[in-house]
Chains A and B, each alone.
Chain A
């Protein structure tokens, strides 16, 4: 053939080939259908949106809720920015930063057909604050004008929250740069008029949702079922028809089930020693691979109770504890890739994180010597009560801490209890009879306020229920925390980093131990795996599909 026609043919074939390849690697549209089975090792607290405050439930609500601001269903940087979902765009903010006006995008519908309006959010805020609901998340409403009056039972409706046509308006008591992030919490998702009227502190188990899925049924202690929302017209994908959650299996059984393929995701975890095996067998972080590991915005730490004689005005002992604890061994209890050792309050990836090398990340003869030196003369009798959860690796970790403490002359008595009881009693000044408690805090939203102010600001400890388990109340630091919370941009990060360093160096409230990883083990049946820790740990449930 002459040259020109040959070129023509080559071009045509190439473009055809390219077109075909493009078509086959295009977004897999044909992956809908089927049932995904997930294992939880214990029951959730509630599925009620205004009550549930538990990581496992929030994973499910990530698929059922529609919110003013939400995280995108993407990995990495794109997924870490709060973007408007039901809000038509970013809100109009008044000059003093105290009034936010959102325009509600039309088209969102609940699973029962009702439309999502501005009123849906007003109802949500009000139900959240309603004292009869006894929700434990209400501290996040502290900046909303009029919310405290409702929480205290002095008013019926929150004065600062209102709906005008398709506009939703929120008035704050002071400017708060993290307000938009707070709106991503499931507590303030849109709720329909029926749920708005159901005020029950026991929690409602089935209700209409406006996200890609809704809670079709719940058998407490046994199972939860999510089904695709037939009326959902928002932009998020919903691949599986049904998401079935089975509750109660031991981690060894969960592992067996996912390994065999009778279940798809071991949300409760697998035996710690299995992680090394499965990584060797199935590889790590392959595309749609069976083992996925991502860092989490959380911190595991030993809180030292500054209200009790042992640690009250005793920074030397607190520093000694930081020198004595064996972070490596603590991590080893959880198995391969449990997490990263840390000596800071803020986790990596959080604005303001800066590793400052204040405390050792591994124990040697020298570090033990240093620990003993700091502790010497400061143990005040040497008796302590150490609280810990009673399931999983927690008892082992508690014994490890007990051993470390013995090296510096503290005889710690371990008290094991159910996790919920542990943080409930620790957070209540009347029942906090511990000297140390092994705790874990996961970010509610990605801002250092959620770690530093919520957990360490002294004004918290007067509340009947709070998260300042260290009962830390130092005026100088309280001031610095408040100042830092008013800053924006890079200045905010620098201020919080300095605060983190100063706290740990001068007067540590905790011994931070490890920043956990989200370790995900999946069956061979599933694909379309995307992980966005801002939504919650695990694979995004609306995207996961059967291969």
Chain B
């Protein structure tokens, strides 16, 4: 991939990124406007400016609020609900009520029976009914599925951005051998058909890695984080590289050099602050893309391992209940739609907030 076409694409805004479903906004030169050069007073103003602009974008704020709520619901709400309802997301309730008279999954707001030690039947509530013929709680699975989606989305984003931005910044700033090696590696990774490789890697590494949970992650989460992250780093690396490339020519860098600052100090104090903006934007949009990718992979049977719930698995099992329990297709689809929408809205808002010239 020629560096020229590259930089043009990045600068001119979009690339759908490397995933169907991921849409990454570009990085505009405007961010690097000289007006925003770091100096103690204006640096504060820069962030304040960003916040002020962001506040005006109601949709972005709505997205942000939704995301915060989602985190709370997923990580605090799910265990709480589980405690209140008296059962977990993976427990089948086949003995009484989980399946109705026709052996179909129970409908929303059904009371189902759980066999206790002493032989009694304890009536508990399924808010959204059963998820499948295994009669597990759809509502809880949806909540715990949010955990998994967020773990994969955030984890993979962290990994790919960490790798990508460090490598990209080094490449763009140092040029020379480091740049050549890193750029060539970027091209190499880009040459792979992304999803194809993700599928094959997930299938092969999965057999070894799916059991790794560090005690709290779902089965398969680590595999996906690694696979998405390791194959996705090139995207942020490219963007970071062109940002760093243009930054290094700026006068403030020259000035810092004249004063005797080391390369590392220059990178740390002058370049990174300007990378944060695009990084944050990239991060939010990447999370959305990875969440959708997990759903797709789980649909194909290669993502999160059963019995752990994920929105992708829920979506995969739902079509067979088209005619009897069509709502089962609705819940995970809507959850995915709103979550991705929220991240996209927030990302768009952040992009606009960091770019004062935008008339978008």
Contacts and interface: CB of A to CB of B under 8 A. Distances in A.
Q: Which range holds the interface residue count of chain A?
A: 20 to 34
Interface stretch (A66-74, A331-339, A431-439, A444-452): A331-339
Contacts of A365: 115-119
Nearest to B104: A273
A332 B103 contact: yes
A399 B307 contact: yes
Contacts of A271: 319-322
B94 A326 contact: yes
Q: Which 4 A-B residue pairings sit nearest by Cβ, starting from the closest?
A: A365-B119, A271-B320, A329-B94, A399-B307
A274 B133 contact: no
A156 interface: no
Interface string A320-350: 0000001011001101100000000000000
B301 interface: yes
Interface string B90-106: 11101100010011100
B320 A402 contact: no
B323 interface: yes
Contacts of A326: 94
Given A390-B301, A395-B306, A328 B320 contact: no
B324 interface: yes
Given A332-B133, A335-B103, A336-B102, A273 B321 contact: yes
A67 to B, nearest CB: 38
B323 A277 contact: yes
A365 B113 CA distance: 13
Contacts of A272: 133, 320
A237 B320 CA distance: 37
13 contacts: A273-B321, A329-B94, A332-B94, A333-B133, A333-B134, A335-B133, A364-B115, A396-B132, A396-B133, A396-B134, A399-B134, A399-B306, A399-B307
B274 interface: no
A2 interface: no
A216 interface: no
Interface of A: 251-252, 271-274, 276-277, 326, 328-329, 332-333, 335-336, 363-366, 368, 390, 393, 395-396, 398-400, 402-403, 413-414, 416
Contacts of A333: 133-134
B306 A368 contact: no
B321 A368 contact: no
Contacts of B211: 413
A102 B191 CA distance: 65
Interface string B59-92: 0000000000000000000000000000000111
Nearest to B133: A333
Contacts of A414: 305-306
Contacts of A274: 320, 323
B119 A400 contact: no
Contacts of A273: 103-104, 133, 320-321, 323-325
Nearest to A398: B306
Nearest to A276: B102
A541 to B, nearest CB: 27
Most buried by A among B94, B102, B119, B323: B94
Nearest to B95: A363
A336 B103 contact: yes
B311 to A, nearest CB: 17
B134 A400 contact: yes
A400 B95 CA distance: 12
A303 B258 CA distance: 77
Nearest to B118: A365
Given A396-B133, A413-B211, A276 B322 contact: no
Nearest to A392: B320
Nearest to A335: B103
